[in-house]
């Protein structure tokens, strides 16, 4: 049995708690957050606290908190020589206080409050200072998924940059597309199959080979027509910037 104290009350903490709940080999024995609120509708037998001094002894303490809070909370932990891990994609493992053994338990996925997560599809990136703790984190992750990777802090930070492009920036482009459709009374759902096919192609083939559109074709007339449609200056700037980036990569100029 791997015992866990889960610190945090955000989306990652809530989804991890829900994923751990039915497991036989894992038990969350305590939850901590600053307000001392329950993070799940059913927390039978789990003591929720807002006092770090009341934390119970466990095999692993998971800091599922914001990136900016990781170092601060690790400094405030009132014990030492225990395994403390965070779930951040960008915070270096060694930035945490060295009074405890440090590690990383990073689920590489986007988490939303109302969207259920299938952890069997999620890659976990793990890192630890000691080999025995790497093995423990691998065992813990294996209860949720088969996609487990030993990733260093430098690799994880690089991976997080790539993930921001793939997820955060792409979602912002989806949002702009939705705004443009709304402005012209077009159902955004018409674009849903295109979104799915674009993601599918990125997985099934090299994204370089999947690139299409007026920028790579150097279709200046189409580009100019699109720019006339866009009324928002930031959208125009982004359209030009991305078009130029595509053409620079593939050897053409606007």
State percent of the chain over pLDDT 90. Answer: 87
pLDDT tens digit sequence for 188-213: 999 999 999 999 999 999 999 999 99
pLDDT tens digit sequence for 24-64: 999 999 999 988 787 877 776 678 999 999 999 999 999 99
pLDDT at 115: 85
As a whole number of angstroms, the distance between CA 19 and CA 118 comes to: 9
Residue 148 neighbours by CB distance under 10 Å = 17
Is the distance from CB of 106 to CB of 131 less than 8 angstroms? Answer: no
pLDDT tens digit sequence for 56-105: 999 999 999 999 999 999 999 999 999 999 999 999 999 999 999 999 99
Q: What is the mean pLDDT of residues 235-248?
A: 95
> Which region among 49-63, 122-136, 239-253 has the lowest average model confidence (pLDDT)?
239-253
CB-count burial class (<10 Å; 0-12, 13-18, 19+) for 53? exposed
Q: What are phi and psi of 27, to 5 degrees?
A: -140, 120
Average pLDDT value for the chain:
93
pLDDT at 254: 55
pLDDT at 45: 62
Residue 142 neighbours by CB distance under 10 Å = 13
Length of the chain: 254
CB-count burial class (<10 Å; 0-12, 13-18, 19+) for 21? middle
Domains recognised in the chain with CATH numbers = 2-151 (3.40.50.720), 156-249 (1.10.1040.20)
């Amino acid at each position: 049995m791997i015992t866990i104290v889960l610190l945090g009350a955000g989306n990652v903490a809530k989804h991890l708690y829900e994923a751990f709940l039915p497991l036989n080999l894992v038990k969350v024995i305590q939850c901590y957050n600053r307000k001392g609120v329950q993070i799940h509708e059913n927390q039978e037998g789990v003591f929720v606290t807002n006092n770090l001094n009341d934390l119970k002894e466990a095999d692993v303490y998971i800091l599922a908190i914001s990136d900016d809070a990781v170092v601060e909370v690790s400094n405030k932990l009132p014990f030492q020589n225990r395994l403390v891990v965070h779930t951040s994609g960008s915070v270096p493992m060694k930035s945490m206080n060295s009074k405890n053994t440090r590690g990383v338990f990073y689920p590489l996925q986007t988490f939303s409050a109302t969207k259920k997560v299938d952890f069997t599809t999620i890659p976990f990136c793990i890192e630890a200072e000691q080999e025995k703790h790497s093995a423990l984190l691998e065992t813990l992750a294996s209860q949720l998924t088969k996609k487990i990777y030993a990733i260093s802090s430098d690799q994880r930070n690089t991976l997080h940059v790539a993930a921001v492009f793939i997820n955060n920036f792409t979602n912002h482009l989806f949002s702009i597309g939705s705004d443009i459709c709304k402005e012209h009374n077009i159902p955004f759902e018409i674009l849903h199959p295109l979104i799915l096919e674009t993601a599918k192609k990125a997985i099934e083939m090299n994204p370089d080979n999947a690139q299409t559109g007026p920028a790579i074709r150097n279709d200046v007339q189409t580009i100019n027509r699109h720019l006339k449609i866009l009324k928002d200056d930031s959208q125009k700037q982004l359209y030009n910037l991305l078009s130029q980036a595509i053409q620079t990569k593939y050897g053409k100029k606007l």
